[in-house]
Amino acid sequence: MKKIEYTAIVHEYDSIEELTGDDKYLVQKAKEASEAAYAPYSRFHVGAALMLENGICVIGNNQENVAYPSGLCAERVAVFAASAQYPGIAFKAIAITAKSDDFIVNNPVSPCGSCRQVLAEYERLFCKPIRIILGCETGKILIIDKVDDLLPFSFKADSLKK
């Protein structure tokens, strides 16, 4: 047996005030997007802001449905909207934040497995890393340099070939 260890570098900031430029802008846009989330069941509002290589920011927010599997996460709403509206334009970074109607979200929120897989697909498509900025209502911000650090064993197209 061989043991293989994977590591990821995560940059931690004490607050949004420590961020500069696009990072701060994306977190603010993600927070704004969370305000418009449709979350009547979980009461947990997630916002995402995706920065494209051309400087355009595309937002998304979670969209719930009484038939739970029919909803969609904020990250995928932003990614799919960007891909539909700006095909072929690479993604630079995505910021994700959340707020709740029932409590203060003090810890950065991270994408679910499905969203990680979708982000990994676009990272491979454009052959460029996508920075992930994880925020919350108050407190620290985490930045991960690339999707592979969040999902090192993602499903790849190579697996579909003989």
Give 144-153 pLDDT, tens digit per residue. 999 999 988 7
Residue ranges of alpha helices (H) inside the chain are 21-35, 74-85, 113-126
Q: Determine the Cα–Cα distance for residues 26 and 160; give it in Å rounded to an integer.
A: 35
Give 28-64 pLDDT, tens digit per residue. 999 999 999 999 999 999 999 999 999 999 999 999 9
Q: Cβ distance 49 to 95 under 8 Å?
A: yes
Q: Determine the Cα–Cα distance for residues 108 and 77; give it in Å rounded to an integer.
A: 19
Q: Cβ distance 119 to 147 under 8 Å?
A: yes
Token pair for 94 = 């995505």
Task: Taking residues 130-139, report their average pLDDT.
Answer: 94
Its CATH class, for the domain covering 10-151, is alpha beta
Domain range annotation of the chain = 10-151
Q: Looking at residue 160, what is its pLDDT?
A: 67
Give 76-89 pLDDT, tens digit per residue. 999 999 999 999 99
Q: What is the SS3 assignment for 57? A: strand
Has 18 been annotated as catalytic? no
Q: Looking at residue 68, what is its pLDDT?
A: 84
Q: How confident is the model at residue 69 (pLDDT cuts 50, 70, 90)?
A: confident
Q: Looking at residue 155, what is its pLDDT?
A: 75
Give 15-38 pLDDT, tens digit per residue. 999 998 999 999 999 999 999 999
Catalytic residue among 53, 75, 121, 123: 75
Q: Looking at residue 46, what is its pLDDT?
A: 98
Give 102-134 pLDDT, tens digit per residue. 999 999 999 999 999 999 999 999 999 999 999
Token pair for 128 = 């460029």
Q: Distances from the Cα of 31 to the Cαs of 43, 103, 128, 154, in angstroms? A: 15, 16, 25, 28
Q: How confident is the model at residue 154 (pLDDT cuts 50, 70, 90)?
A: confident
